[in-house]
Structure 1
Amino acid sequence: MNRHIIVALHIVIAQGFILYHTLPAIFSRIRRPVLDTPVSDTPELDTPVLDTGGRSIGKLFVSVKEIAKGSNGTVVFEGTYEGRTVAVKRLVKAHHDAASKEIQNLLVSDQHPNIVRYYGCEYDCDFVYLSLERCDCSLYDLIKYSKSFQPCKPNGYPSSDLLKLMRDIVVGLVHLHDLGIIHRDLKPHNVLIVKGKRLSCKLSDMGISKRLVADVSSLGSNATGSGSSGWQAPEQLCQGRQTRAVDLFSLGCVIFFCMTGGRHPFGDHLERDINVTNNKKVNLSLVKDIPEAVNLIIKLLNPVPEDRPKASDVLHHPLFWNSDMRMSFLKDTSDRVNLENRKVSIVRVLENKGRVAFGRNWDEKMEPAFISYMGESKHRKYNYKRVRCLLRVIRNSLNHYRDLPKEIQELLGSVPEGFDDYFRCRFPKLLMNVYNVMYLYCKEEKWFCKYLEC
């Protein structure tokens, strides 16, 4: 049977059961439950063990052990559904609209690795019980309380694990947006963590998410639900036109939260909404040493929705590049501009970035032994004031790494991780400044396309 027909039947059945068991006099659309109670103070990502107490409801067994609590009477329990360990989200039946909407959007977005799985639902006279994929903790708990998770490398740059988790969130968001679904309540509490060979993120809690009508880019003026305080876009707070861009603003807050060990870009809890509404300038001093993060966060927190990037664009941002991609880009850029006349616009603009990228002379930031070796050849003369020459040094060192003296190899480190760390620590602003210029002039060129499809 066609998958779309199956999904439609699930939705009709779920809605019918809820409406049948609901007292018709009480319902008005209200805000969806928000789960913000931490799973534990120190999440260790252990495999859940079900409590022996509980009760059976149809195919579902609900344990007495609580995982989290939310607003409007929502509680999450451990449980099993058809023998599978699950998280049981119990909603007060009076809030049938939120339950129905969540079921619809979970069914539509199901089978994606970065969206929490939906297995089924059961009902009694008071509650609706959603059987959801059992995760280990929330992103909020992981960042705030975990003692084992390492968000940063010793040099202060984000670890590969943290970059993967943030990228997982973006991948999940791209999937929702491709389906026309706006999450509308993206925050660290609603991003769940699953332990496997590596940690992974899954978007959850889509009770106030909305699916756009075909060929329509925004919700109607009567859209209900407003997300969670402190994580909403200004147009949500001001009851303006809501598009996919509301999720991108929230994503900017989540990325800042991850990069700063649990801080919020708009201050303490009680002042966040006011600061967002008043467009208060974000203090980026906590991430100033990571220009890629600064660049992306500024774009995501733009108060003008139309000026925020799309989720698919964020996915390819240099913040998420690994060492191999970073070094490959600088090398390819060197090849692209090396033979250009110095009066060509792209070269002039690139060289104008030199003072920002490395200061006065780039050789001052590198060891004399390395500079001396690279300058020995009669065929390789470098101008220490030129960005093109610094890029050529990086390119030549990569291309001829095996021919370098052992002491120079040890100085630069392994390829690509050590190599990237060496140049990144000395020229932290180089990549982002070069990228901005090349994106402006070369984004349509074939060589650049792979950096927009990574």
Structure 2
Amino acid sequence: MNSGPERDTDDPLIGRLLDGRYRIGDRIARGGMAGVYEAVDVRLDRTVAVKVMHPGLGDDGDFAERFVREAKHAARLSHPNVVAVYDQGEERGTVFLVMEYVPGHTLRDVIRQQAPMPPLKALSLIEPVLAALAAAHQAGLIHRDIKPENVLIPDAPGGVPKVADFGLAKAISADTQHTATGGVLIGTVSYLAPELVVDGRADTRADVYAAGVVLFELLTGKKPHEGESPIQVAYKHVHEDVPPPSSIVTSTEPELRIPAYLDALVARATARDREHRAADARVLLHQVRRVRQALADGVLDDPELVADLAPPAVTAQQEAQFHEDTTPDPLGSQRPAAATTTAVAAAVAADPARAHVEATTTFDRS
């Protein structure tokens, strides 16, 4: 993913008047499926962001149809913490999506510069993300790719964080939604819920898991699971609990101290068994506000709050049931079962250093 506006004199889109309305300017982000450009809506005389599918992808009728359908889902959302979707169209094979332009930086920049950060600061940053997800879940949508790169922080004073890239958003049906399409696992490996790795199914609790991982990263400055390859990272999400943030942050500074009830909050949000997580972002948002209030009141020890937030204890039998889709390696280690391997196979081609599957463009301006 490239970052920041860039001038590419060989890019035929730059300077083009798309659909007779959008004058394309510098590219501000790039991904495996699309690029995002700063543009001017000449009809309304306003700056917008235009996401354009890479050449050739628009020729895939199924993919283009899905792009249009999911753009319509995203356009249903109207919330101050969600990047607005204005328009969608196609011109001579160029499929595009027009969105609100948010000049600024991403939550990834904040993590690099400020994490580990005081718990109150971390909660103040995750709360607008959860507010956006709560609105989406209320509207029957799941985001499916929550990560710091998809949270935009406006440069303008008083600007509110906004969640971007609802282009992957999926309408919630009676069944949970498959997120693996054509062998490509949609999402980012570092934030994938275990069930996405195992069978490629997502519901609101997958967004809860990803938000919990982001909170862990804000508190610690580290990702909970790392490895030499994306598959290793994905597999750890299935087999290893997210560690308590307090086990990572050992600072004696009072403002950085992580109370047991905040560890419990992270554990609940990132429980490997989705039945043990908050049902959706609305519930997690309520839990975050309870914890934030306790911190603001100076409460550092609250056993009752810990008991309320901590996920249920997992028995050995439940753990065995949870891992029934894995097979033992002849050398004594564990490896994914065939279904799991298929789901994450696309990760092998991803950049191991970034450890993510590029399924769409994100606003990485870091």
TM over 0.5: yes
**Residue 435 of structure 1: aligned partner:** 305
Alpha-carbon offset, residue 102 of structure 1: 3.2
Alpha-carbon offset, residue 124 of structure 1: 2.5
Amino acid at match of 1:266: H
Higher relative CO (Cα under 8 Å, sequence separation at least 6) belongs to 2
**Residue 46 of structure 2: aligned partner:** 84
Amino acid at match of 2:287: H
205 and 134 in structure 1: CA distance in 2 versus 1, 3 angstrom threshold: same
Alpha-carbon offset, residue 307 of structure 1: 0.9
More helix by share: 1
Q: Which runs of 5+ in 2 are unaligned?
A: 6-13, 251-256, 311-366
Query: What is the aligned counterpart of 1:56 among 2, 7, 17?
Result: 17
Query: What is the aligned counterpart of 1:309 among 275, 278, 291?
Result: 278
Q: Counterpart of 2:133 in 1: which secondary structure?
A: helix
221 and 294 in structure 1: CA distance in 2 versus 1, 3 angstrom threshold: closer
Per-residue deviation, residues 19-44 of structure 1 (Å, max 9, x unmatched)? xxxxxxxxxxxxxxxxx44448xxxx
Alpha-carbon offset, residue 306 of structure 1: 1.1
2-structure distance, mates of 1:106, 1:86: 16
Q: Counterpart of 1:251 in 2: which secondary structure?
A: helix
**Residue 131 of structure 1: aligned partner:** 98
Q: How many residues align?
A: 279
Alpha-carbon offset, residue 326 of structure 1: 3.0
Q: CA RMSD in A?
A: 2.9
**Residue 330 of structure 2: aligned partner:** none
Alpha-carbon offset, residue 113 of structure 1: 0.7
User: 1:151·1:159 contact (CA, 8 Å) conserved in 2?
Assistant: no
Alpha-carbon offset, residue 302 of structure 1: 0.8
**Residue 264 of structure 1: aligned partner:** 223
Alpha-carbon offset, residue 100 of structure 1: 0.9
Query: What is the aligned counterpart of 1:142 among 92, 103, 110?
Result: 110
**Residue 108 of structure 1: aligned partner:** 76
Q: Counterpart of 1:131 in 2: which secondary structure?
A: strand
2-structure distance, mates of 1:439, 1:302: 11
Query: What is the aligned counterpart of 1:97 among 62, 65, 68?
Result: 65
Alpha-carbon offset, residue 438 of structure 1: 7.7
Per-residue deviation, residues 109-159 of structure 1 (Å, max 9, x unmatched)? 1x2111111121343223222211112222223322x5xxx567xxx6235
Query: Residues 285-304 of structure 1 correspond to what in structure 2 (within 5 A)?
Result: 285-287=247-249, 289-291=257-259, 292-304=261-273
Amino acid at match of 1:307: H
Alpha-carbon offset, residue 281 of structure 1: 5.4
1-structure distance, mates of 2:189, 2:129: 20
Corresponding position: 1:171 with 2:131: yes
Per-residue deviation, residues 54-83 of structure 1 (Å, max 9, x unmatched)? 2212211101x12111013x1111111231
Amino acid at match of 1:232: L
1-structure distance, mates of 2:191, 2:165: 14
Query: Residues 31-430 of structure 1 correspond to what in structure 2 (within 5 A)?
Result: 36-39=1-4, 54-57=15-18, 58-63=20-25, 65-72=26-33, 74-81=34-41, 82-92=44-54, 93-94=58-59, 95-109=63-77, 111-135=78-102, 136-144=104-112, 146=113, 157-160=118-121, 162-213=122-173, 216=174, 218-219=176-177, 226-239=186-199, 241-261=201-221, 263-268=222-227, 270=229, 271-280=232-241, 282=243, 284=245, 285-287=247-249, 289-291=257-259, 292-310=261-279, 311-318=281-288, 322=292, 325-326=293-294, 420=297, 423-424=298-299, 428=300, 430=301
277 and 222 in structure 1: CA distance in 2 versus 1, 3 angstrom threshold: closer
Alpha-carbon offset, residue 240 of structure 1: 5.2
2-structure distance, mates of 1:129, 1:314: 33
**Residue 330 of structure 1: aligned partner:** none
1-structure distance, mates of 2:308, 2:205: 26
Alpha-carbon offset, residue 188 of structure 1: 1.3
User: 1:90·1:127 contact (CA, 8 Å) conserved in 2?
Assistant: yes
User: 2:70·2:170 contact (CA, 8 Å) conserved in 1?
Assistant: no
Q: Which runs of 5+ in 1 are unaligned?
A: 1-35, 41-52, 328-416, 441-454
Higher radius of gyration, 1 or 2: 1
